[in-house]
Amino acid sequence: MPFMLESDAISGKQATATATINGRVEELFYAKSIEATIEKNKVDVPVLGRTNTPQRSAGWKGSGTLTVYYVTSVFRQLMWSYIQTGQDFWFDLHITNEQPGSASGKQSVVLKGCNLDSIIATKFDATSDDMLDEEMPFTFNGYDLLDQFNTITGA
């Protein structure tokens, strides 16, 4: 039975991330984490003669959370502009995972049409020694898999 080599594991610390906002690329070097999920929308398809209720896919929705250190006003500025004008904003997130020395290679994903659900308008915590951060939930409407991990063979 083959085993995964520890050298093929991917460290999240090696990732890179950018946001393309109005044609401008913002390096997200201040990001702590991102997790994006694609959820299939399913509908019931009752079938005569079956005791269960099968389902089939009828679309999808994408959502996620971007957590960053509280050191940028980029997203607060976008939300402020939305509040002032009513004109919403969308951006793309490009995330690459690659671990030097891993046989798995790299994976690059673009989340398209990201739209923030909420941001923190302002924040402080005088009782904590932790650095300030903020979680920004978002939705997205497109997904591209630009690079895929290699198939690892183990040892």
What is the DSSP annotation of 8-36?
Answer: G---GGG-EEEEEETTEEEE-TTEEEEEE
What is the structure's pLDDT at 89? 96
Per-residue pLDDT tens digits for 113-150: 999 999 999 999 999 999 999 999 999 999 999 999 99
Q: 2 pLDDT exceeds 90?
A: no
Cα separation values, 8 from 2, 23, 34, 109, Å: 13, 35, 21, 19
The residues near 70 (Cβ < 8 Å, ≥ 6 apart) are 120, 123, 131, 132, 133, 134
pTM beyond 0.75: yes
Distance between terminal CA atoms of the chain? 9
Average pLDDT over residues 39-46: 97
Per-residue pLDDT tens digits for 83-93: 999 999 999 99
C-alpha dihedral, 81 to 86 to 87 to 91, nearest 10°: 60
H or E element, residue 133:
strand 133-140
Domains of the chain in sequence order: 15-41+60-147 (2.30.110.40)
Task: Return the structure tokens found at 22.
Answer: 């109005």
Q: 154 pLDDT exceeds 80?
A: no
DSSP letter for each residue of 70-117? S---HHHHHHHHHHHH-----EEEEEEEE-TT-TT-EEEEEEEEEEES
